[in-house]
Amino acid sequence: MKELVTVKYLKKYFSTPKGMLHAVDDVSFGIERGKTLGVVGESGCGKSTLGRVLLNLLEPTSGEVWFEGENVAAAKGKRLWELHQDMQMIFQDPYSSLNPRMSISETIAEPLQIYSVYESVRELDERVDELMDIVGLARRLYNVYPHELDGGRRQRVGIARALALNPKFIVCDEPVSALDVSIQAQIINLMQDLQEQNHLTYLFITHDLSVVRHIADDVLVMYLGQIVEQCAVEDLFLNQYHPYTKALLSAIALPRVGEQKKRIALKGEIASPINPAPGCRFAPRCMYSVEQCTVKQPQLREVAPGHFVACDFAEEIS
């Protein structure tokens, strides 16, 4: 049980006109080498911010991120640059994450050039060709610019770029959401193959719970900057303890006619991440909330072996 990445008390706050926005608020977890940790949660709950802060692309407000014995959160300048060779990110938005003035081949070659991986142009070109093959981009697209590509092909460019340096750890921020289901399946198979061959470790952010179930070993459920439930992926589908997780799983749209689940609709006002009120952040929308919930912040605790939940009434409502 060797963790490649260990995150401790990580926080990222943004200052906004209305006050401090708690995007990631005291999050701790670990990912074992060769495993995939899935991250799910409401849109805007801090998943992408968590991914960026993990790699120190955004400077954390406080906390530690240990990677192979080194605190990435404290790394700076050249050392951070070196670390990024081993830690890469596939970005959520295939539109704005590619430089519009660089052709596809230039985009994929860029990290290889920045890190001077190859001495000869021939080797560099060969690697770019190889990467384009791996992610299924036709050679015709070599000199094409991002605006000429559809969403799916753009996302493949992002994946090829992230794979270029043979990293050990990749934060995958919605890497397949923009793709159709067949290409999704291809890319997921590809990512799993690469993981097996190279012992890659992934933090995999997605909204698609069937994708999480397929690819992740463990899963974190986040709500407004905090972890509300954490367990092995199989356990999550067997038994959810947190009321938010229950609502989340009940809202899955099944690809079958007339077989929609009874959705637990979340009512009430959504709490703001700006200067959040004390107590449980989900309380305003929780159908089980009692006075205690609005006063005292529930701590993450183990309710079943390996299954952690931040709700003081988890057992009663389960």
State the residues that interact with Mg ion by CB under 5 A: 48, 92
Q: Please tell me whether residue 11 binds other proteins under the rule CB under 8 A.
A: no
**HSE of 242, CA atoms in CB hemisphere, 13 A:** 32
Query: Which position among 2, 197, 262, 269 is part of the footprint of other proteins (CB under 8 A)?
Result: 269
Based on CB atoms, which residue is closest to ligand ATP, 44 or 278?
Answer: 44
Q: Please, what is the minimum distance in Å from the beta carbon of residue 164 to other proteins?
A: 21
Q: Please tell me whether residue 151 binds ligand ATP under the rule CB under 6 A.
A: yes
Query: Which position among 4, 21, 248, 293 is part of the footprint of ligand ATP (CB under 6 A)?
Result: 21
Q: Please tell me whether residue 149 binds ligand ATP under the rule CB under 6 A.
A: yes
Based on CB atoms, which residue is closest to ligand ATP, 148 or 315?
Answer: 148
Q: Please tell me whether residue 153 binds other proteins under the rule CB under 8 A.
A: yes
Q: Please tell me whether residue 178 binds other proteins under the rule CB under 8 A.
A: yes
| Cα(250)–Cα(263) distance, integer angstroms | 5
- For 270, the token pair is 């959504």
**Helix locations, the chain, DSSP H:** 47-54, 77-83, 104-114, 121-135, 151-163, 181-198, 209-215, 233-238, 243-250, 314-317
Of 199-258, binders to other proteins (CB under 8 A) are 207-211, 213-214, 234, 237, 247-248, 251-257
Q: Please, what is the minimum distance in Å from the beta carbon of residue 148 to Mg ion?
A: 13
Cβ atoms within 10 A of the Cβ of 271, count?
17
**HSE of 114, CA atoms in CB hemisphere, 13 A:** 14
SS3 call for 53: helix
Q: Please tell me whether residue 34 binds other proteins under the rule CB under 8 A.
A: no
Q: Please, what is the minimum distance in Å from the beta carbon of residue 23 to Mg ion?
A: 10
Question: Of these partners, Mg ion, ligand ATP, other proteins, none, which one is at the site of residue 175 (CB under 5 to 8 Å by kind)?
Answer: none
Choices 64-72, 146-154, 241-249, 287-295; region in contact with ligand ATP by CB under 6 A? 146-154
**Chain position carrying tokens 């159908």:** 287
The residues facing 29 across adjacent strands are: 7
Across the beta sheet with 36-41, the strand order is 87-90, 169-173, 201-205, 36-41, 218-223, 226-232, 307-309, 301-304
Q: Do residues 241 and 311 make contact, with C-beta atoms less than 8 angstroms apart?
A: yes
Applying CB under 8 A, the residues found at the interface with other proteins are 14, 16-18, 40-44, 48-49, 92-93, 95-96, 136, 138, 140-141, 143-144, 148-153, 174, 177-186, 188-189, 192, 207-211, 213-214, 234, 237, 247-248, 251-257, 259-260, 263, 265-266, 269-272, 274
